[in-house]
Structure 1
Amino acid sequence: MSERFFIEHPPTGTEVAFDEAESQHLAKVMRAEVGDVVVGFDGRGTEYQIELTSVGKKKVVGAVRHQAEVSREAARRLTLAVALPKGDRQRWLVEKCVELGVARLVPLLTKRGVAQPVEKAIDRLRRAVVEASKQCERNHLMVVDPGQSLEEVLASRPAASFLMHPSGEAMHHQAIVPASDVLAIIGPEGGFTDEEVAQAAEHGCQVVSLGPRILRVETAALAMATLVTALPAP
């Protein structure tokens, strides 16, 4: 079987049990049988070769035949603090961030934000992280934090921190090259207020622009993710 399956609770011995959702996918969609060997991952970096020993409609159990630490992470740890767009654009943003190797996504609370990162929305995004990780063969789950204010994000920012705004200087990759941890802050469709831009600058963030065109939230996020994660290790 070519598909990968998430193991929510990593095995403590040689036996592993898939949760109900993954078990149903194995049994009903993949029509798995005892003796099949599948690939599992625990979201913490370990990949498993698992031989199925019991296949039920709601519970599939297997035996670990091999396991290894397999990292497909980017050379730099990128945190994106993003004022979430509305609707299905949120899931699309998460999928592409996972594929590009973003380490952490922080839903950003801003004065002009249009989508509130309530608990149910955060849960949906975290499920989307798992599905995207299965598809792109990433073994570490991208972290999706609860919503944070700009002040909270700035309080724990790394040295290489950037706020995207049309008034900023042109973004150059040379500013990222020495950094192992990078923070990119992206505002809502209506943009940051002047007060928010000033607040970020006062905290030492570089205010930068990605060009003369007005970008959607997810476009700006992925442009930054591509720029950061494509660079070799510092």
Structure 2
Amino acid sequence: MSERFFIEHPPTAAEVTFDEAESQHLAKVMRANVGDVVVGFDGRGTEYQIELTSIGKKKVIGAIRSQAEVSREASRQLTLAVALPKGDRQRWLVEKCVELGVARLVPLLTKRGVAQPVEKAIERLRRAVIEACKQCERNRLMKVDQGQSLEEVLAARPAASFLMHPSGETLHHDSILPAKEVLAIIGPEGGFTDEEVAEAAEHGCQIVSLGPRILRVETAALAMATLVTAVPGP
């Protein structure tokens, strides 16, 4: 059985009880049988080999046969603070960020934002993180924070912080190489206001561009993720 299954509550003993959604997937979709061995992961970095011992429609139980810390994380921690795009583009953005190894996604509240990160939307994105981790074999969940203002993001910024804007200088690898943690701030479809750009610069952010073309929100986010995670860490 090739699919991976999320363990919401890391086991404290030698037995695992899958939550209702994963249990239903095992029982109804995968048609799992007692004795099947599946791979589970807890979202905190541990991977498990689990032999199924009880199959119910809403409750599947298994015995842990082995476990190991298996890291498939990027060598550099990237936080993306992004003014979310509309609709299904949010889920697509999350899926690709997980695949590329982004450590943390912060829905950014801006003056020209088009999508508000309400609680239900955040929960959908967090579920999308789990599904993407199952597919790409990542064992540590990308964090999805509650919405934050630009001021809040800037208050906790690491030394290597960049705001994406067409007026900025072209971003070079040399700016990323020394950093263990990177923050990239990406604005909404209508762009940042001049005041927001000035605020970021006052807080020490580098104002940078990814080229002469105007990129969509999710394109800019993934281009930055690719640049940061592809460059070997310090």
Q: If the TM-score is normalised by the length of the shorter chain, which range does it land in?
A: over 0.9
In the alignment, which residue of structure 1 is the partner of 2:176?
Answer: 176
- What secondary structure is seen at the aligned counterpart in 1 of 2:198? helix
- What secondary structure is seen at the aligned counterpart in 1 of 2:8? coil
Residue 80 of structure 1: how far off its partner (Å): 0.0
In the alignment, which residue of structure 2 is the partner of 1:223?
Answer: 223
Residue 233 of structure 1: how far off its partner (Å): 1.8
What per-residue deviation string (whole Å, max 9, x for no partner) do you get for residues 109-149 of structure 1? 00000000000000000000000000000000000000000
Confirm whether residue 121 of structure 1 aligns to residue 95 of structure 2. Answer: no
In the alignment, which residue of structure 2 is the partner of 1:5?
Answer: 5
In the alignment, which residue of structure 1 is the partner of 2:85?
Answer: 85
In the alignment, which residue of structure 2 is the partner of 1:150?
Answer: 150
Q: Distance in 2 between matches of 1:200 and 1:24?
A: 47
Confirm whether residue 96 of structure 1 aligns to residue 96 of structure 2. Answer: yes
CA RMSD of aligned residues (A): 0.3
Q: Distance in 2 between matches of 1:168 and 1:25?
A: 48
Moved over 4 A (4+): none
- What secondary structure is seen at the aligned counterpart in 1 of 2:151? helix
- In structure 2, what residue type is equivalent to 1:145? D
Residue 47 of structure 1: how far off its partner (Å): 0.1
What per-residue deviation string (whole Å, max 9, x for no partner) do you get for residues 70-128 of structure 1? 00000000000000000000000000000000000000000000000000000000000
Corresponding pairs, count: 234
Q: Distance in 2 between matches of 1:168 and 1:11?
A: 48
- In structure 1, what residue type is equivalent to 2:132? A
Q: Distance in 2 between matches of 1:98 and 1:153?
A: 20
Q: Distance in 2 between matches of 1:132 and 1:93?
A: 11
- What secondary structure is seen at the aligned counterpart in 2 of 1:139? coil
Confirm whether residue 31 of structure 1 aligns to residue 28 of structure 2. Answer: no
Question: What is the 5 A alignment of 1:197-208?
Answer: 197-208=197-208
Give the structure-2-normalised TM-score.
1.00
- What secondary structure is seen at the aligned counterpart in 2 of 1:50? strand
Give 5+ residue unaligned stretches, structure 2. none
- What secondary structure is seen at the aligned counterpart in 2 of 1:204? coil
Give 5+ residue unaligned stretches, structure 1. none
- What secondary structure is seen at the aligned counterpart in 1 of 2:105? strand
Residue 231 of structure 1: how far off its partner (Å): 1.2
